[in-house]
Structure 1
Amino acid sequence: MEMRGIMGGFYKISEWIMRLSVTNVLWAICSIPFWFFVFSALFLPTSEQGSTIGMLYVAIAVSPFTLFPATAAMFTVARKWVMGEVDVPLFKTFFRGYKENFLQSMLGGLLYAVLFAIMVVDLTVYRSEPSMQLISFLFIGFLFILIVSLFNFFSMLVHYHMKTFQLLKNAVLITIGRPFRSIGTLAMAIVVLMASWKFTFLFPFFTGSVIAFLSYWNFNLIYQKMQAQAEKLAAAEAEQASNDESEDETSDIVTGKK
């Protein structure tokens, strides 16, 4: 029996808290090596800047084998929620997504890891040189595209059956082709991260799953709009073909052709 009123509202809220927290914890556990090196870098003394950068590079190196498959699994669950399947079994859905998308997420992660490493090096070099700080803003723009395309990559990975290169290419094209949606995705992620920075208990329980849900929700809006445009174009082409066929039949009647 479904509860209604205030108690029903509290029950639904508690359900969503459970869904988001369980999924986030699973994601964090499956990517423990990555987070170990990240937090090791964050808690090193500021005097050991070289060690901090080294730890971050190690974190980037292990991310394709830990963080990326775990994130793909989390997006698998988020996709179910956005598509209206809110009562799916969390453990089963998560680990099925982990298994099914492991290879492609790892391959995509290898490319993204290399690109992020290059970005870190370039930003470090250019920002340290006063005469080249303007160029650093260009790389910040590239970094923005890279981050949002990463969200789109995971969304497309769990939604489409495509080869890895096609997923990567289309993720970048959607990011560039839908700039307002891309800005919206990044803005929502930043808001969640800022809230998590202020209320640190959000990190282990909600940050990742909330960002995944919002990112896929935004991607799904893009997908629905693209699908509607494709259907409209197909209908217009079918109507045009029907009109052309009618004109040909009329012409045959006039000329007496059989």
Structure 2
Amino acid sequence: MEMRGMMGGLYKISEWIMRLFVINVLWILCSIPYIFLLSPVFWSEPDAQVIPLILSSIVAPFTLFPATAAMFSVARKWVMGETDVPLLRTFFRNYKENYKQSMFGGIIYVILFVVLIADLKVYWNELQSFKLVSYLFIGLLILLTVSLINFFSMVVHYHMKTVQLLKNAVLLTIGRPIRTLSTIIMCGIIVFISFSSPKLMFIIPFFSGSIVAVIAFWNFYGVYLKLQLQAEKAAEAAAEAERLEHEGAVQEVVLTKENEEQDSSK
């Protein structure tokens, strides 16, 4: 029997808290090697942060990226209305299915992030006269982060080659500036809340990743539905044009035949 009223609302809220919690914990557990190697960055001196960053960057495509893709696969089910899917089975099945693509895509993204961050550091710290250029690299880093989020959404939603997914993730990020901006704002708010206070940092291991995944895929799915609608309208217009062209050709044949019959009767 379905509960209604305030009790029903509280039950649904607690159900969603449980879902977000379970998926976020699975994401953290599957990313433990990356988290373990990255953790010294948060308490080390700047000079001692280089090695942990390098090691965690090497490990990220093999742990963090497949785990994130699996988390997005569950978020996809939720956004598309399948809220009662088995969490563990859905997560680990998609972890296995999307492992190679998320790993190869992760290697490309890690290389791009390393290049941009290295350039940003050079312009920010060493080339003071070109410091304004560093803001360009900050903007590129933000766009690259959004394209990475779109990449995860596409990995779990489309059956494409990795190169096509990477290209389409970048094109979607650049071609839909409003959606890109909304993704930056909404995901940025979650990240800011998670890190804004030590008292709120419990959100990171329990909810932040899964909430970002739901928001990001919901935003991506809105674009997907619009593109699908546009494609359907274009297909209908093409079919109508083909039908009219066919009717015109048939009519022309009939008129030609009638003219030939009239000529023969004369």
- TM-score w.r.t. length of structure 2: 0.94
Asked if residue 108 in structure 1 is aligned to residue 105 in structure 2, the reply is: yes
Output the CA distance in 1 between the equivalents of 2:31 and 2:53: 15
What residue in structure 2 maps to residue 228 of structure 1?
A: 229
- Please tell me whether the aligned partners of residues 192 and 211 of structure 1 are also in contact (alpha carbons under 8 angstroms): yes
After superposition, the C-alpha distances for 1:19-74 in whole angstroms (9 at most, x for unaligned) are 00000000001001111222211111xxx312113212221111001100000100
Amino acid in the other structure paired with 2:91: F
Task: Name which of 61, 66, 71 aligns with 1:69.
Answer: 66
Give SS of 1:62's match. Answer: helix
Task: Name which of 136, 146, 149 aligns with 2:147.
Answer: 149
Output the CA distance in 2 between the equivalents of 1:132 and 1:37: 33
Q: CA deviation at 1:187?
A: 1.0
- Please tell me whether the aligned partners of residues 57 and 117 of structure 1 are also in contact (alpha carbons under 8 angstroms): no
After superposition, the C-alpha distances for 1:205-258 in whole angstroms (9 at most, x for unaligned) are 000000000000000000000000000000000001111111111111111179
Identical-pair percentage: 55
Output the CA distance in 2 between the equivalents of 1:251 and 1:167: 47
Task: Name which of 34, 55, 59 aligns with 1:58.
Answer: 55
How many residues align structurally? Answer: 255
What residue in structure 2 maps to residue 189 of structure 1?
A: 187
After superposition, the C-alpha distances for 1:154-198 in whole angstroms (9 at most, x for unaligned) are 000000111110110110011111011011111111000111113
Deviating 4+ runs (over 6 angstroms): none
- Please tell me whether the aligned partners of residues 196 and 207 of structure 1 are also in contact (alpha carbons under 8 angstroms): yes
Output the CA distance in 2 between the equivalents of 1:50 and 1:62: 21
Deviates more, 1:120-129 or 1:226-235: 120-129
Give SS of 2:3's match. Answer: coil
Q: CA deviation at 1:144?
A: 1.6
What residue in structure 2 maps to residue 2 of structure 1?
A: 2
Deviates more, 1:134-143 or 1:152-161: 134-143
- TM-score w.r.t. length of structure 1: 0.96
Give SS of 1:126's match. Answer: helix
Amino acid in the other structure paired with 2:64: L
Gaps of 5+ in 2: 261-266
Give SS of 1:256's match. Answer: helix
Amino acid in the other structure paired with 2:193: A
What residue in structure 2 maps to residue 173 of structure 1?
A: 171
The residue correspondences of 1:8-19 to structure 2 (distance < 5 A) are: 8-19=8-19
Output the CA distance in 2 between the equivalents of 1:105 and 1:148: 15
Structure with greater Cα Rg? 2
Output the CA distance in 1 between the equivalents of 2:54 and 2:173: 26
What residue in structure 1 maps to residue 263 of structure 2?
A: none
The residue correspondences of 1:24-103 to structure 2 (distance < 5 A) are: 24-44=24-44, 48-103=45-100
Alpha-carbon RMSD across the aligned residues, in angstroms, is 1.1
Q: CA deviation at 1:152?
A: 0.5
The residue correspondences of 1:175-254 to structure 2 (distance < 5 A) are: 175-197=173-195, 198=197, 199-254=200-255
Q: CA deviation at 1:4?
A: 0.3
Amino acid in the other structure paired with 1:36: F
Asked if residue 127 in structure 1 is aligned to residue 128 in structure 2, the reply is: no
Amino acid in the other structure paired with 2:181: I
Output the CA distance in 1 between the equivalents of 2:137 and 2:181: 16
